[in-house]
Amino acid sequence: MAETSEKTKELNTGMAVLAYIIFFVPLLTDAKDDPYVKYHVKQGLVLFIAWVLTGVFNMVPVIGWFLAPIVYLVLLVLLIMGILNAVNGNKKPLPLIGQFADKINL
């Protein structure tokens, strides 16, 4: 019984990490019912939306060309922080964008 619980925990940690890379994949598996995975899926979704909005902002001449690379770097740092939180078993909201993830209902 303990072995099954440990295997499930590893699977859910893997799904939580995957939620930051490809946010919708955990929603296609049985892990979608796990609150831990769902939390990280929401964080990954907000991060993905921020990434897309930055890409749109990048099309704005001069200002977008200057600021978008900085925002991309910040988003990369947030991505790494999210993955580290998932690996360590933490449910900490990401700075700047974590507050928006709590408002999403999945």
pLDDT of residue 11: 61
pLDDT of residue 1: 45
Distance CA 20, CA 6 (A): 22
Q: Which helix (H) or strand (E) holds 27?
A: none
Q: Per-block average pLDDT, block size 10, for the chain (106 residues)?
A: 54 87 87 89 94 94 92 96 93 90 85
If phi over 0 gives left and psi between -120 and 50 gives alpha, with beta otherwise, what is residue 40? alpha
- Residue type for 97, please? I
